Amino acid sequence: MAALSSLHHVSATLSLLTLAKPSLSATPFRRLPPITSSSLQFNIKFAPPSPKPKPPPNLKPDAVLDSDSPPDGQFFIPWIVRGEDGNLKLQAHPPASFINALADAKTQKPKKKVDKEVKKKKEISSVGNAGIEPPAPPPKLSKAARRFYNENFRDPPQRLSKVLAAAGVASRRGSEELIFNGKVTVNGSVCNAPQTRVDPSKDIIYVNGNRLPKKLPPKVYLALNKPKSYICSSGEKEFRSVLDLFEDYLKTWDKINPGSPKPRLFTVGRLDVATTGLIIVTNDGDFAQKLSHPSSNLTKEYIATIDGEVRKRHLIAISEGTEIEGILCIPDSVELLPKQPDLSRPRIRIVVHERRNHEVRELVKNAGLEIHSLKRVRIGGFRLPADLGLGKHIELKQSDLRAMGWKS
């Protein structure tokens, strides 16, 4: 009966369309004979319904599929979600939160996982040397820490005469004379004892009414190629002093060392007025005393140019030594140097360590020879640079000082 009612409904619909649209009336339609219930029989069989999926055990029995659930017989994956009422239910499509999460995951770029080891290597390579960690910055010390260091680890107080000499007031002996003459005051009182221990950074020291600076000049070590006709002291007026060769150096001192007083320079040992070559100039009294003391046992090498011809007997006589000031002085080595085409006079290399006045000249004179010129070329392990001109100087490095046996 349901089928018959459906056919009648279709026939009525077609009739209405024919009347509503005249354009369709020209199209011929085949009329069907009327269907009666007595003449029509149907043999319809329906498939058995497919079993519904079993709900999970924690699903309440009153939970039903939503309106979007597919019809029976269609395969689907159920989604178990919690509704607004708090109960679990089955639905055919995934929840909205899950769909939104998938959309965000597709649009976002995946983040690259950077290994910690690779990141560390990149940071190290950016410094400039791969495989070398950047040096840590020096720690910043507070004022209290610096004050504690200055009070406990700074240089101990020194003798007054030594402090005056280091400040450039005068030599050690000249400073003692100023102290004995009452020209020096310490903390408002006249001091007559050169051995008094003072600290320039704490004690107030006046010399001839002038305040001694708190900051002492830094230590200076210079090597000079001494020219002829220069002496190593400033007491004689008829000769120029080697210290006059450092006037330009001291004029530029304030630009190179701003805020630091100028050093009082002096020579380590002496060379006579006619001797040229290597001489050390400094303001460090301890350094000068160490190099000048016989216990240092430093050797000094000289090149003596001789007027006349040098025989074997002359060399033997020099090597046997001579008596100077009551002491027999024997050189370490004596050698006749090969002749050079540009030099007509013979040359002798002599190495000594006794530190007697005019020692080399006396050795050559005792052998019956006459010196035309004398030049010192080495002190200890430091040799005068061949390209250093007469009257020129260079600053000594720490390696040069160690070559002469000095450890600052």
Within 8 A by CB and 6+ apart from 191, the residues are 160, 179, 184, 185
Question: Residue written as tokens 């507070």?
Answer: 142
Burial of 144-173, coded b for 16+ CB within 10 Å and e otherwise, reads eeeeeeeeeeeeeeebbbbbbbbbbbbbbe
CB 302 within 8 A of CB 352: yes
HSE of 107 in the Cβ direction (CA atoms, 13 Å)? 6
**Alpha-carbon distance 54 to 43, whole Å?**
33
| Sign, CA torsion 208/287/245/270 | positive
**Alpha-carbon distance 282 to 263, whole Å?**
9
**Alpha-carbon distance 60 to 89, whole Å?**
8
CB 375 within 8 A of CB 276: yes
**Alpha-carbon distance 350 to 306, whole Å?**
12
Secondary structure of residue 119 in the 3-state scheme: helix
> 313 vs 141, 217, 329, CA distance in Å?
70, 52, 18
User: Tokens in use for 9?
Assistant: 């409904």
Q: Is 272 labeled as catalytic in the residue annotation?
A: yes
The active-site residue out of 66, 244, 272, 286 is 272
The three state secondary structure string of 175-218 is: HHHHHHCCCEEECCEECCCCCCEECCCCCCEEECCEECCCCCCC
Q: List, by residue number, the catalytic residues.
A: 272
